[in-house]
Structure 1
Amino acid sequence: MRILGQFDESERLLAAQLDRYAQTGYGRALYDETRAILALTYLAQGRAVEAACLALETLAPHLSRYQRSVAGNALEFRKTVVGDMQRASLS
């Protein structure tokens, strides 16, 4: 969907897939891959900060060192920057 320019539909489908992964008993095959494609969708939508944060959060568990630091900083950055952007858009 992203390749076809249907970014909202791509985001919806990928988010639904990630919700399925969160369900008990549902396998996690392609979980990181789904998050990577969602990050690309965010980037195509002009949501670069969210894309970078999601990519770093996805990458962090695979690092040989600094996993918690990378994941924690990405999460905090996402909360701060994205929260600020959302508040600014409401003003």
Structure 2
Amino acid sequence: MTETWDARIAAIWADDALDDQERIAAIDAIAAERGDDDPRALFERAGARDSAGREEDAEALYRRALDGGLDGEHRPQAVIQLASALRNLGKIDEALGMLRGEYERTPRDAFHDAAAAFYALALSSAGHDREAVSVALTALAPHLPRYTRSVTGYARELTERRP
């Protein structure tokens, strides 16, 4: 059932012909198969609303999903997406705290760079542009075919030297 359920959810996300309301309705219908308190279903319902610009509706669903316990693949996504929604709702300090925790978490996972990107956005929203650029460059550096060490050093210097 899980693979089929996951594939059906993925198909909805991949369907560009759906508008926001249609996507929400389709995800809600599939999520209902798991019940009202299933963390994964709550996560998908939250994501559909978040994607539609309904961050306030998404916030409560993300929180319930996280409180209910998500697996290792979906927990970091829920943290990042909730924090992004909070940033958009003007709750910058809470978003920063969540994203900092996810960014600094060890061991690093497949969502570390995504956490870095959203952490950088939240830092910038909080007026910490030098720190935001440093976080973004630090995440980018390992992906460069050359200059990894140089870019990492420059990123560190952004937060060590103050103008």
> Could you list the runs of 4 or more consecutive aligned residues of structure 1 that deviate by over 4 angstroms after TM superposition?
none
Supply the distance in 1 between the matched residues of 2:115 and 2:129 (Cα, whole angstroms): 17
Give the alignment of 1:7-18 within 5 angstroms. Answer: 7-18=92-103
**Contact kept? 2:134, 2:155, Cα under 8 Å:** yes
Quick check: which has more Rg, 1 or 2? 2
TM-score, length-scaled by structure 1: 0.77
Higher relative contact order (CA 8 A, sep 6+): 1
RMSD: 1.5
Supply the distance in 2 between the matched residues of 1:43 and 1:55 (Cα, whole angstroms): 11
Q: Paired residues, what number?
A: 78
| Identical-pair percentage | 37
Paired letter, 1:18: Y
Q: Does 1:66 align with 2:147?
A: yes
Supply the distance in 2 between the matched residues of 1:18 and 1:48 (Cα, whole angstroms): 17
Once the two structures are superposed, what CA deviation does each residue of 1:35-75 show, in whole Å capped at 9, x if it has no partner?
A: 11000001111111111111111100001110100011110
Superposed displacement of residue 3, structure 1: 1.0
Q: Which residue of 1 aligns with 2:120?
A: 39
Supply the distance in 1 between the matched residues of 2:136 and 2:148 (Cα, whole angstroms): 13
5+ unaligned residues in a row in structure 1: which ranges? Answer: 85-91
TM-score, length-scaled by structure 2: 0.45
**Contact kept? 2:96, 2:119, Cα under 8 Å:** yes
5+ unaligned residues in a row in structure 2: which ranges? Answer: 1-85
